[in-house]
């Protein structure tokens, strides 16, 4: 009986954890990448893009590898070659600078570290985890379900010295 109760508790915990971490979909990644074209100084040519993930957290690791694969296979932006680079969030203190960072799922415990990194390096952080944007730790949040939406945290973009074109700011929602 005790084993059964333990199994139920562990199973419910796994359901709760998987329900709170949402992997990035291809459409969300495409939408997020398109927002970079509305930056005051958009990327051009060959541009490395950080995929921020935690290799010890399975959801984050799988999400990062999917994002990396999609970025290698997609021509996401005209005249821009995006080169994905996996960056372990546990090493952000010593990581080199990137203009753009995709924040994978399951990184809530590292939101402060991600924000500090993006502030120090003026990195535009894009995520499908709207909690990061709501918490004031990520700049751009994207969603495609139930409706397509782009959400910007202006406090974060200002703190990270990231500017978007005025017309774009009017088209998105602020969190």
Q: For the chain, what's the residue count?
A: 175
Answer yes or no: is 154 within a domain.
yes
Contact 124, 141 (CB under 8 A): no
Tell me what the pLDDT averaged over the chain comes to.
86
Q: Is the pLDDT at 143 greater than 50, yes or no?
A: yes
| 175 vs 21, more confident | 175
Contact 115, 149 (CB under 8 A): no
Q: Which domain holds residue 55?
A: 22-174
pLDDT attached to residue 12 = 32
Q: Total domain count for the chain? A: 1
Helices and strands (H and E) in the chain: how many? 7, 7
pLDDT attached to residue 21 = 61
Answer yes or no: is 8 within a domain.
no
78 band by pLDDT with thresholds 50, 70 and 90:
low
Answer yes or no: is 15 within a domain.
no
Answer yes or no: is 151 within a domain.
yes
For residue 87, the domain's CATH number is: 3.40.50.2300
* 86 class by beta-carbon count within 10 Å (0-12 exposed, 13-18 middle, 19+ buried): middle
Look at the alpha carbons of 62, 82, 114, 146 in this order and tell me if their dihedral is positive or negative.
negative
CA distance 3 to 164: 55
Dihedral class, residue 97 (left if φ above 0, else alpha if ψ from -120 to 50, else beta): beta
Answer yes or no: is 143 within a domain.
yes
Answer yes or no: is 1 within a domain.
no
Answer yes or no: is 160 within a domain.
yes
Answer yes or no: is 13 within a domain.
no
């Amino acid at each position: 009986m005790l084993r059964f109760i333990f199994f139920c508790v562990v199973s419910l915990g796994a359901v709760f954890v998987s329900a709170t971490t949402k992997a990035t979909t291809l459409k969300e990644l495409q939408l997020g990448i398109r927002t970079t074209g509305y930056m005051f100084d958009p990327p051009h040519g060959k541009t490395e893009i950080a995929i921020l993930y935690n290799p010890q957290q399975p959801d984050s690791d799988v999400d990062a590898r999917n994002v990396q694969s999609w970025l290698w296979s997609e021509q996401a932006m005209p005249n821009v070659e995006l080169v994905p680079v996996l960056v372990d969030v546990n090493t952000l203190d010593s990581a080199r600078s990137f203009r753009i960072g995709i924040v994978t799922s399951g990184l809530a415990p590292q939101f402060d570290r991600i924000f500090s990194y993006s502030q120090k390096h003026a990195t535009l952080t894009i995520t499908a985890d709207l909690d990061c944007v709501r918490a004031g730790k990520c700049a751009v949040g994207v969603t495609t379900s139930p409706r397509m939406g782009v959400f910007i945290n202006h406090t974060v973009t200002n703190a990270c010295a990231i500017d978007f074109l005025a017309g774009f700011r009017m088209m998105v929602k602020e969190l």
